[in-house]
Structure 1
Amino acid sequence: MATPLNQSVADSSLLTRSLPVGLLREFVRSEATDDGLTPQLLAELRVLARVPGLLVACNYGGTLCDAEGISTETLPLGNAAIALRALAALPNTHAAVVSGRSLRDLAAVSRLPAEVHLVGSHGAETDMGFAHGLSLATESLLQRVNTELAEAVGFQQGIWLERKPVAVAVHTRPATPEVAAEVTEIARDIARTHGLFFIVDGSVLDLSVTEPAKAEALESLRSRLGVSAAMFAGDAYSDELAIATLRGPDMGIRVGPGETAAAHRLGDPESFARVLAILFELRRAWLFGEDAVGLERHSMIGNGSSTALVTPDAKICWMSHPLPDSGSLFAHILGGDAAGHFSVEPVKASQVLGQRYVDSTMIVETRWADVTVTDYLEPAPEGITSLVRVLSGTGAARIVFAPRPDYANAPFSMEARGDELHIVGTADPIILFAPGVTFSVSSDGRHSTAVASVNLQDGPVVLTLRCGDTEPVAADPAEETDRRAAVAHHARKWVQELDLPGVKPSLVRRSALVLRSLVHEPTGAVLAAPTTSLPEGIGGTRNWDYRYCWLRDGSMTVNALVDLGSVSEARGFLDWLGRILSNAPGPEWLHPLYSVTGAPLSTEAIIESLPGYAGSRPVRIGNAADHQVQLDVFGPIAELIHSVSEQEGTLDAAHWDLLVQMAAAVLARWHEADHGIWEARMAPRHHVYTKVMCWVTLDRALRTAARHGRQPEPAWESTAAIIRDEVLREGWDESARSYTVAYNSPDLDAAVLHIGLSGLLDVGDPRFLATVAAVERELRVGPTVFRYRYDDGLPGLEGGFHICTTWLIEAYIAVGRTEDAWDLFDQLVNLFGPTGLLPEEYDPGTETHLGNHPQAYSHLGFIRCARLLDGLQKDSMQKDQLQKDLLQKN
């Protein structure tokens, strides 16, 4: 079984949602005076809320509640207690109260739950057993001091004494100012006489055997909890010692009057309670991404070298530059507004009426009642990204341009120069050309944001964002219309030449356009998806970077286009692969994936500053699968060359050479264990799918050689027979009554359906029929099919994989279960997003779409199924026509 969802994240989410957080929201929105809640403080709270690990610590009396004093009089403010508890319940968030009170008294009075760390005696007391470890000499000293204080000041009205583990406290709050001043001087003299530390904490005077240790307590908490930033708030001298240790993104707050090193001051504990509530709301939104738009509802625009995602309300929420795997310019989908976005909305609030692709193009239109936004990426020279946004209608629109280069980690400034906005301080030039638009630019010190409103009754507004280029863009809207028409014509001309099936032709057309947009035309490489770290499970860690070219995925993608009659993408991909091989030590040493430039990947890294889609961490850059051994990759390449030669009726010498190299790679390494198609981060095994693909490599090489009169290597046929016999013998597991993921394993894997789909095993063989039944029984849930259910060494759950669903549809067709194939196909069709896109996965339990989006696997699998079902329809129609003809003759 797969391992459970990261339990700490799940538990924290449930606990947080169980708290009365609605009270906090109302408290934040209430009209109470915000004494000290400055714009600067609020801005810094937004930054603090986004750190990977956060500690929120504070003093008790005078900070969390009104004042020190008798226990029954000083319960914490209700909202402050709720906020602190709520913060402590969030993932990677800790709360602490560091007080001058004894730990026992602090626990009794504060009534805070175990999630909040309590430290007493000015930082010295961290556990209830602390007092029992004091020496007899210390006890004797404190007893003498207590007696002396009782005799000297105990008779004064409003004065009472308290024995603490390491101190004797003199409480002066009920006393008159004159009495309090006199008692303070007497107590100070007694402390000096006995060599004690004299600590003034509001109205409490501590004569302590230990010096104030709130600084040490804060440092200890930071180290033990492993946090990356801390907030500390206090109102007394001992709190200043802790505040003085703050650095970097930390925040210090002084509550009330007095000298302070803190950057911020609040008037009273109620204002601090409001700060805690605001911080909770900000951090909760950052961690859980509650407003995350369903992945399937995003539309992609692309031009053959760049891609971008658009939300249903016309927000550019993802775009990188200059390469697919370069740093992002907009990463809202992974981090909200702070991660960068380019938004347009009506000034007069209204609901979006709809979003659609302009027919047979990658141009997206988003429409409100009086505003329409048209988005596309226009062709541009290599290294240049050109995004065009056209605003039209009868109303007014608000524009927010908030680029955040390099995953929001690169500081920059912005300058308005006439009709242009220039991003200053980046490696590449970035300019927004906006004729007739007047922007207001603001900055938070690291990043700038430009805002403008435009009246569309005066005519369309054209916004052109150019990255990597300083050439001016024409200001005439009519010229933009011509440019857009040229983009549309180019796409439609390509679509018109496709051989589309009669089954769901509009969705097949859209899927084909998506696959073509994932082809990086300058190099010929093919992206598995245009995004990174969109989760396979909400809140989980299975968040991978798919902005690379897997040899397997790329081959299968362009092969789907070959099946539709477009071969140019396959030729470009094979040329790209040829360049890879020219620099490889041998074909058998090909990596599973490369960047589009052909370079090996850098080390997989984590962007700590981004919370991830719907709070799903970590956000990963790079992919460690680059270092795996995946010996199945030769099969899809051989299949592609076989398909291209069949489609064109000829075999290029370069393609034959590639095929020979793929076969040589199989001969060299087919007998080895590998990591398999799914890149499980486990020890290599003898995967059945891998062995099947090694057989496919040799089988397709033999077929291609026979068709085109080429001479095969003598070892191809004999080795193919050996592989086939071994797979049929070793891949079967009697206990599972199925072919399984690997030799000597009972675990099922949807990929083993290829044992029949590839032709290695006859589809009528009882063993294949049993394998189809086992996959259906164990891995299908409603409209989706899971890859597997076994523990793959990674935490968390995942959804069903759309490509596995398409494999089961193919298997149903192959074994004659036509009605089941149509039924599952129709269920898959129902999962497409409103503009015809599919991400990688689907969770049938929560009805949530998952994984990187849009996913090449999902769309190519759908195209294959539509073509196969179309073939069934045509065969059925031909049989019906033959029967009619026979009846007419008779």
Structure 2
Amino acid sequence: MNTLDLWPIGNCQVSALVDAEAGFVWGCQPRVDGDPLFCSLLEPKRDPAPDRPAGEWRIALVDQVSAEPSYVRNTPILTTRLTDKRGGMVDVIDFCPRQERSGRMYRPVAFLRIVRPVAGSPRVRILLNPSRAGGAEDAPTTSGTNHIRFLLHPQPMRLTTDAPIGNLLDGEPFRLERTLNFFLGPDEPFVGNVEQEMARMLHQTKRHWQTWVRGLAIPLEWQEVVIRSAITLKLCQHEETGAIVAALTTSIPEHDGSQRNWDYRYCWIRDAYYTVQALNRLGALDVLEGYLTYLRNIIDAAEGGTIQPLYSVSGQSRLEESEAKGFAGYRGLGPVRFGNAAYTQIQHDAYGQIVLSSAQAFFDRRLLRMATREDFTTLESVGEQAVRAFDQPDAGLWEFRTKSSVHTYSAVMCWAACDRLAKIAATIGLPDRAEYWAATAARMRAAITEQTFLDGDQRFAATFGGDELDASLLQLADLQFVDPGDPRFGNTLDAVERELRKGEHMLRYASEDDFGRPQTAFNFCTFWLIESLHLTGRDEEARMLYAKMLERRTPAGLLSEDTDFRTGELWGNYPQTYSLVGLINCAVFLSRPWSAIR
């Protein structure tokens, strides 16, 4: 049975999820939202060749009894030790090359595997059967002396290897007596000795990632948690454009039979804002700089008009949603969807997230490209959209498909856009614009408070004129709309806990939606609760709850979107940027200071 015990590898161009037994079960090309060549995670319905699962690349031992995956320290390079019943051992090293070369970042559409004998006389089977056409069919092949060519779409790929080609084509086991190398990449001749070149790529990729991690400003406590989360967030950025995807997968359901199976391989303005916010806390400015380039292109294309909640990694606006009939789905729980109809929704919080993501570029002198007055003028058009939208109904951050309201979170994000524009204008020497935006923000704050604050309960509501609660109200303090010491925030926190907290977990809301009543907790909301507990002085409780969340992580140290609050099982797309952001933020908030070790 498929599980989320999966280990991501990647290079910010392509990525793959490797299961605990050295099988590539998910991965797309030529980018994260492209055609899946590895897709067994979603259980293709077609009959595979004998002993050759559809959409998979597996390296297995004959009579295998154990598999032990682990990452090379401070990298996304995965080593899996396989052991057979006679004591034979093999190490499988998996990575996507990433290194500086000729003044550029070398990050090809390529997946590399090195198979090393460790002990005994292990017999291995190499089973490679990539898919094409949305996972609907096996990729046809041609072969040569040292390569196999796979006719994939939109571009063919070539496996170059020093392993016996015949053994790969027929899938028969053979004795592993020397290190074997596999380079699945562009359909072009491999230049140089494959063993030497792959050893060099492994060394350079390891050095690159460990150098990147060395530049992070991490907290004293939970360092491994923060480092693994940061590396994986970095893998979720498509470096060519700067886009940051919400997750690497599609259609992992929120719970058994939920039908909430969505494609998360796109860039949500909201999710990306939280990702750069968390990585900024660690000083990973390269992710911010790339994302700001992406945002500037999105704003230019909108021409002062409506901003969509999500776009493709290349910035395309149309993400037509369809069901792939050739899959049974994760654990047989379809449907499998490609594309996401949420791109057609109105979600006003995007205006605030654009401004908040961009604001640092006007203040941080470490950036290679600081923002200019021209950039501020462009952001003002986003602010004007926020002014027009803040008191208008939308689908909200939870993306309701059949109902709309004026959501407090969206309104406050629009207010935050104007509030930050005032601060930016003051910093860059535009006092008239600072006064305008400050006055505008003040009017918006007053209107939001009037419409959402309940005098009887002395708390905020989740919608204008309503009394509903949802977990996004916990963001009012983080967004600086209210002070964490304000009794109104304390009362709101108490009310949210009473209605939405389920033991160690937090629901996003408790009411029925388009698909019924939620049955799982939203992990990011639990981290919002931990943050709110910290802000209101409940640090001991916050640390205990954070420790419980750490226990929910997969063996790879990661989290998906949702958790069954009854069983603790993870559900939803994986790895989820929201959840990784929560791991980082709460570690930063709760850690003892470095001065504690002096």
1:332 counterpart residue number: 40
After superposition, residues 865-880 of structure 1 pair within 5 angstroms as 865-870=586-591, 873-874=592-593
Q: Which residue of 1 aligns with 2:337?
A: 620
Match of 1:662? 382
Distance 2:557 2:500 in 1: 26
User: For 2:134, which of 407, 413, 417 is the aligned residue?
Assistant: 407
- Opposite residue 359 of structure 1, the aligned amino acid is R
Quick one: distance in 1 between partners of 2:472 and 2:17? 30
1:769 aligns with one of 490, 493, 505: 490
Q: Percentage identity across aligned positions?
A: 31
The equivalent of 2:96 in structure 1 is 377
- Contact preservation (8 Å) 1:464, 1:473: no
- The structure 2 residue matched to 1:359, chosen from 73, 83, 88, is 73
Residue among 257, 265, 274 paired with 1:539: 257
Matched residue, 1:349: 64
Find the aligned partners of 2:363 and 2:399 in 1 and give their Cα distance.
31
What is the CA–CA distance in structure 1 between the aligned matches of 2:23 and 2:366, rounded to whole Å? 46
* Structure 2 residue 8 is the aligned partner of structure 1 residue 292: no
Aligned match of 1:398: 125
Distance 1:698 1:655 in 2: 15
The residue type equivalent to 2:165 in the other structure is: T
Q: For residues 425 and 555 of structure 1, do their structure 2 counterparts lie closer, same or farther at Cα, with a shift above 3 Å needed? A: closer
Answer whether contact 2:425 2:434 (CA < 8 A) is retained. no
Question: CA contact under 8 A between 2:98 and 2:204: conserved in structure 1?
Answer: no
Offset at residue 476 of structure 1 (A):
3.8
Superposed CA deviations along residues 834-888 of structure 1, whole A, max 9, x for unmatched, are 1211111111212210111001111112211111113xx339959xx9xxxxxxx
1:570 CA drift (Å): 1.0
- 1:747 paired with 2:468, answer yes
Question: What is the CA deviation profile of residues 707-733 of structure 1, one whole-angstrom value per residue up to 9, with x for unaligned ones?
Answer: 343342553222211221122222134
Amino acid at match of 1:344: I
Over the aligned positions, Cα root-mean-square deviation in angstroms equals 2.3
Separation (CA, whole Å) in 2 of partners of 1:749 and 1:350: 47
Partner of 1:563: 281
Map 1:293-312 to 2 at 5 A.
Answer: 293=3, 295=4, 297-312=5-20
Give the distance between the partners of 1:563 and 1:487, measured in 2 at CA: 25
Deviations along 1:198-246, one digit per CA (max 9) or x if unpaired, are xxxxxxxxxxxxxxxxxxxxxxxxxxxxxxxxxxxxxxxxxxxxxxxxx
Q: Deviations over 1:580-599 (max 9, x none)?
A: 2222231x411111001111
Indicate which of 450, 463, 471 corresponds to 1:729: 450
Using CA pairs under 8 Å that are at least 6 residues apart, name the structure with larger relative contact order, 1 or 2: 2
What's the offset of the Cα at 1:659?
Answer: 3.1
Matched, 1:419 2:146: yes
Q: 2:160 aligns with which of 433, 436, 456?
A: 433
* Residue type at the aligned position of 1:671: D
Cα distance, 1:802 vs. partner? 1.4
Q: Which amino acid in 1 is paired with 2:239?
A: E
**1:554 Cα shift?**
1.3
**Partner residue of 1:115?**
none
The CA deviation at 1:479 is 2.6
User: Aligned with 2:386: secondary structure?
Assistant: helix
Retained in 2: the 8 A contact 1:641–1:655?
Answer: no
- The SS at the match of 1:367 is strand
Inter-partner Cα distance in structure 2 for 1:702 and 1:691: 17
Correspondence for 1:804 among 505, 522, 525: 525
Q: Does 1:864 align with 2:585?
A: yes
AA of the residue aligned to 1:356: S
In 2, distance between residues paired with 1:672 and 1:549? 24
Q: Secondary structure at the match of 2:126?
A: strand
2:302 matched residue in structure 1: 584
Q: 1:590 to 1:564 in 2, by over 3 A?
A: same
Instruction: State the AA in 2 paired with 1:462.
Output: N
Deviation at 1:436, TM superposition (A): 2.8
Q: 1:492 maps to what in 2?
A: 210
Q: Is the 8 A contact 2:238 2:244 kept in 1?
A: yes
Identify the residue that residue 320 of structure 2 maps to in structure 1.
603
- What corresponds to 2:179 in structure 1? 460
Alignment match, 1:389: 113
Q: Distance in 1 between matches of 2:132 and 2:436?
A: 53
Aligned to 1:637: 354
The residue that corresponds to 1:55 in the other structure is none
> How big is the shift at 1:605?
0.4
**2-side partners of 1:425 and 1:566: how far apart?**
35
| CA shift digits 1:561-582 (9 cap, x unpaired) | 1211121211111111111222
- Rounded to whole Å, the distance in 2 between the matches of 1:782 and 1:317 is 34
Find the partner of 1:680 among 392, 400, 403.
400
Alpha carbons 2:97, 2:106 under 8 Å: kept: no
Counterpart pick for 1:691 among 393, 397, 411: 411
Partner letter of residue 271 of structure 2? Answer: D
Q: Shift in Å at residue 417 of structure 1? A: 1.5
Compared CA separation, residues 618 and 328, structure 1 to 2 (3 A): same
1:322 touches 1:384 (CA, 8 Å); kept in 2? no
Unaligned 5+ segments in structure 2 are 84-88, 100-104
Cα distance change of structure 1 residues 782 and 655 upon mapping to structure 2, 3 Å threshold: farther
Q: Which residue of 1 aligns with 2:237?
A: 519
Cα gap change, 1:798/1:595 in structure 2, threshold over 3 Å: closer, same or farther?
A: farther
- Would the aligned equivalents of 2:11 and 2:107 in 1 still touch at CA under 8 Å? no
CA distance in 2, matches of 1:799, 1:580: 33
What CA distance in whole angstroms lies between the structure 2 residues aligned with 1:292 and 1:409? 19
Structure 1 Cα separation of the partners of residues 183 and 76 of structure 2:
17
Alignment-derived partner of residue 102 in structure 2: none
TM-score (norm 2): 0.91
| 1:617 shift after superposition | 1.5
Q: Summarize the Cα distance change of 1:544–1:737 in structure 2 as closer, same or farther, 3 Å threshold.
A: farther
Say if 1:473 and 1:407 are closer, same or farther in 2 by CA, change over 3 A: farther
Aligned to 2:436: 715
Give the Cα separation in 2 of the matches to 1:707 and 1:822.
37
Native 8 Å contact 1:329 1:340 kept in 2: yes
Q: Which deviates the most, 473-482 or 748-757?
A: 473-482
Indicate how the Cα distance of structure 1 residues 298 and 796 shifts in structure 2: closer, same or farther if over 3 A, else same: farther
Pair 398,852 (structure 1): closer, same or farther in 2 beyond 3 Å: same
In the TM superposition, what is the alpha-carbon distance from 1:539 to its structure 2 partner?
A: 2.3
For residues 437 and 738 of structure 1, do their structure 2 counterparts lie closer, same or farther at Cα, with a shift above 3 Å needed? farther
TM-score, structure 1 normalization: 0.62
SS class of match (1:618): coil
The answer as to 2:543 corresponding to 1:822 is: yes
- The one of 575, 580, 594 equivalent to 1:854 is 575
Larger Rg: 1
Equivalence for 1:323: 31
Partners in 2 of 1:854 and 1:681 — Cα distance?
24
Shift of 1:529: 0.7
Larger % of helix: which?
Answer: 1
What whole-Å deviation, never above 9, does each CA across 1:286-321 have from its counterpart, x for those lacking one?
Answer: xxxxx122x1x1110110111110001011000111
Contact 1:739 1:752 in 2 (8 A): yes
Conservation of the 8 A alpha-carbon contact between 2:308 and 2:350: no
Residues 1:593 and 2:320 aligned together = no
Question: Contact 1:531–1:546 (CA<8 Å) still a contact in 2?
Answer: yes
Q: Structure 1 residues 769, 875: CA separation in 2 closer, same or farther (over 3 Å shift)?
A: farther
Aligned residues: 574
2:8, 2:422 → 1: CA distance? 40
Query: Helix, strand or coil: the match of 2:380?
Result: helix
Looking at structure 2, the residues matched to 339 and 397 of structure 1 have their Cα atoms a distance apart, in angstroms, of 19
